[in-house]
Structure 1
Amino acid sequence: MNEIPVYILFIVLAVLILMSAFFSSSETGMMSLNRYRLRHMVKSKNRGAMRVDELLNRPDRLIGVILIGNNFVNILASSIATIIAIRLWGDGGIAIATGLLTLVILVFAEVTPKTLAALKPERIAFPASLILKPLLVLLYPFVWLVNAISNGLLRVVGINTGSVGTDLLSREELRTIVTESGAILPTRHKGMMLSILDLEEVTVDDIMIPKHEVIGIDLEESTDDIVKSLQSTQHTRLPVYKSDLNAPVGVLHLRKISRLLMDDDVNKAKIMQQAVEPYFVPEGTPLHMQLVNFQKVRRRMGFVVDEYGDVQGIVTLEDILEEIVGEFTTDYASSSQDIHPQEDGSYIIDGRATIRDINKALKWHLPTKGPKTLNGLITEHLETIPEHNLCFTIGNYRFETVQIKDNLVKTTRVFNMKSNKAKKRILPIPAS
């Protein structure tokens, strides 16, 4: 070493620092790769991705070859720096060399390359795999020895390095990925994907049309009244029942019966020949399951029944699709018969309106766990049926009952106290 010129030692030292930077950036780049994007690129036959994926199948070997190379060049660089310092400044130069080399390695071989690799992992990892893959073959005996010792220590603490995780995403993790996708996904597509993920949490009870709101054909009525109802209805499918919806006998599709309505001798028997048998759906069925069930039985409407077999309402395929793509009307708040906007920023809402419909129409966040309707929410909060009109708050919403009749809160005025218009109109009141 004493015969080697100092400038040659400096050149070797610089090369070793560059090699250290390569190993440091390779390690960070490999570990910072998006595994799902990598799998997509592997399926697309990207050669760089395929090389990296092969290396990552055994992360212990990959880390082993990187650390062997990194530690070797760092130790060798330290030795050469010591020789240079002694030849330039004598024994006192060792401390100077230690301090300077530490700073140089930190800046040029650790922090800078690792930061670059964390920001641009693919640009670092893919080219690095061209060197790391043959290097792994060359140093395999050393890598095997190091891994055998380290893996043995890991087995002592109960960790099996032979199995690589599948990196499966939970529903909430997938939701986070979709939410934070930014401009990669259009806002509408993002909302649809999130709605699909929510289908498991929503049941047919939440979206069904309640029994008292169902429009259908009562076979107890006269034939003329039934024909008039069929001719004037705006729906394509109508449930058919006797006296009460708890006794359904079928479902009529208006397309099948349109020609029959033009005949002079139309009667109930001919009408019922065009009806299909009723399809029943147990209450509490999750929407994602019911969507599959509709597909299996090739139906678009079902009668939701409770544990006693009583009909609670009807659910349609369109109702489920609206949970995914949104309301088919352009402005649900203005078209809903249950929600009436007022000039002061409040809303007069029918007590039978469902909480989910109110939240969707007004972009509110009323609690949905518990009662399904506004009347139910009010009576649960008050723990009684109010006898007189009163005011109270639930969260950020102020309620003023307007009409109470037949043991029900018929209509209520509701303020969103966070809206600018409502803040100018109302004064805060203590929560009841």
Structure 2
Amino acid sequence: MTTELWVIGGIILILICFSFLFSGTETGMTAVSRARLHSLAASGDKRASVVERLIERKDRLVGALLIGNNLVNILASSLATSVLLSVFGDRGVVYATIGMTVLLVIFSEILPKSLALFRPEQFALFVSPFARFIVFVFGPVSSAANFIVRGLLHLFGVNLSSDANMVSAHEEIRGAVEILHREGSFVKQDRDRVGGLLDLAELEVSDIMIHRTAMKLVNAGDAPDVVVREILQSPYTRMPLYRDEADNIVGVVHAKDLLRALHEVGNDPAQVDIMKVATKPWFVPDTTTLRDQLNAFLRRKAHFAIVVDEYGEVEGLVTLEDIIEEIVGEIADEHDVDIQGVKQEADGSVVVDGGVPIRDLNRALDWNLPDDEATTIAGLVIHEAQMIPEEKQAFTFHGKRFIVMKRNKNRIVKLRIRTAGEPGALG
């Protein structure tokens, strides 16, 4: 009888070891980084390729592991109960329940899952042959069980197939970057750059364009020397030309092309035919996403486009630099006019020009003001107030206190913003 007890005890120990593998494999396979796996697989790690294939059908993998884990746990508990019943009688049930609970919780749940969470990639690679064998053995049973589960959930209005990808890849990356930033692995600038790159598919050119009221234009009907002087005195490399009225854009002049033309006529501005120097303007819809516009700029090897609305009216202009700045932040060179439109005051408030984009303000000050309904900070105040405020009027929303400092006709020119609840926030 003693030998038989030792044999059964050894079998129980082996079953607990298998339970350890099942639990650890489940946690390791579900916690593993797919990006890290892809990198390892690309570098030739065959085990990483195996894990990638297994987690492609995660429901089948997890189902197979759960089936195997429950089998060994039930078998181990049954054997322990039978042994302890023969030794202690009816009290053996209590002893077996307590003993197996302690063993399974510690050695088959907490220990393997803690280890797998500590090093998910290493653990997943180590158990990949075991996981592949288990899926091969229990895979068909797991698929059948998953079919039954989906059917039962469907009765309660839950469709697993449609809810499987509720979190998009962009949201997953954005969330991971935000966590890394909180943990100190990503500085704010790196977080903003990744966020800006992800935002390209959600923003339209109308969100970042230079509005028509702020465009610098040159009248093609002016005398050639006047046109040449205006272009060369401008801080911009490219200038749009209009004829008769500002909406009639007839060309775009590059300063380098103009200098070349000047050289050809002996540096006599009066001899320059500005329309021969100008290139044909490129018009793009204001609803074009920044991702599509960036690809179009690269495909056409262009840097400048005129933005029009659905009626063909000029709305503004957008440049390749504008889109790149959405990713890397403000780019300044020696010819840029250094007007940021944001001034930090000694009392902690911020004085902002009404035309400053909300996204730029959020990026500069690490705020979270919404930019869904308005592009500029003045537009946000008007949207929230549902009116055009008077000077010295104040509003509180989104955790900030907005005071209108200056208004010109129907435009908010300057605002003071401070955190709501700070001293002085009431006025």
Q: Is TM more than 0.5 here? A: yes
Within-5 A mapping of 1:13-412: 13-56=12-55, 66=65, 70-71=69-70, 73-82=72-81, 84-86=83-85, 88-90=87-89, 92-131=91-130, 133=132, 140=137, 143=138, 146-147=141-142, 150=145, 153-154=148-149, 157=152, 169-182=168-181, 187-262=188-263, 263-267=266-270, 270-329=273-332, 335-336=338-339, 338-385=341-388, 389-395=391-397, 396-405=399-408, 407-409=409-411, 411-412=413-414
The structural deviation recorded for 1:417 is 2.9
**For each residue in 1:69-111, what CA deviation from the matched residue of structure 2 results, as whole angstroms up to 9, or x when unmatched?**
5455445544543454355445544433343233223322333
Which segments of 5 or more consecutive residues in structure 2 lack a partner in the other structure?
A: none
Residues in 2 aligned to 1:345 and 1:185: alpha-carbon distance in whole angstroms = 26
Residues in 2 aligned to 1:380 and 1:174: alpha-carbon distance in whole angstroms = 31
Residues in 2 aligned to 1:132 and 1:410: alpha-carbon distance in whole angstroms = 64
The structural deviation recorded for 1:177 is 2.6
RMSD across aligned C-alpha pairs, in angstroms?
Answer: 3.8
**For each residue in 1:116-171, what CA deviation from the matched residue of structure 2 results, as whole angstroms up to 9, or x when unmatched?**
2333333433333344545776xx4xx47745763664575488999xx8999443
Which segments of 5 or more consecutive residues in structure 1 lack a partner in the other structure?
A: none
**For each residue in 1:377-397, what CA deviation from the matched residue of structure 2 results, as whole angstroms up to 9, or x when unmatched?**
4545554445x6332113244
Contact 1:397 1:414 in 2 (8 A): no
Distance 1:400 1:24, change over 3 A: closer
User: Quick one: which amino acid aligns to residue 275 of structure 2?
Assistant: M
Residues in 2 aligned to 1:62 and 1:51: alpha-carbon distance in whole angstroms = 12
Contact 1:280 1:305 in 2 (8 A): yes
Residues in 2 aligned to 1:168 and 1:376: alpha-carbon distance in whole angstroms = 31
Residues in 2 aligned to 1:89 and 1:292: alpha-carbon distance in whole angstroms = 77
Distance 1:51 1:216, change over 3 A: closer
Partner of 1:267: helix, strand, or coil? Answer: helix
Q: TM-score, normalised by structure 2?
A: 0.79
Matched, 1:417 2:412: no
Contact 2:252 2:279 in 1 (8 A): yes
Structure with higher Rg: it is 1
User: Quick one: which amino acid aligns to residue 33 of structure 1?
Assistant: V
Q: TM-score, normalised by structure 1?
A: 0.79
Residues in 1 aligned to 2:355 and 2:60: alpha-carbon distance in whole angstroms = 65
Q: Which moved more, 1:366-375 or 1:57-66?
A: 57-66
Q: Which moved more, 1:5-14 or 1:273-282?
A: 5-14
The structural deviation recorded for 1:200 is 2.4
The structural deviation recorded for 1:35 is 3.6
**For each residue in 1:348-389, what CA deviation from the matched residue of structure 2 results, as whole angstroms up to 9, or x when unmatched?**
444444444444455444443334445544545554445x63
Contact 1:237 1:254 in 2 (8 A): yes
Residues in 1 aligned to 2:345 and 2:160: alpha-carbon distance in whole angstroms = 65
Residues in 2 aligned to 1:129 and 1:409: alpha-carbon distance in whole angstroms = 64
Distance 1:361 1:101, change over 3 A: closer
Q: In percent, how many aligned pairs have the same letter?
A: 33
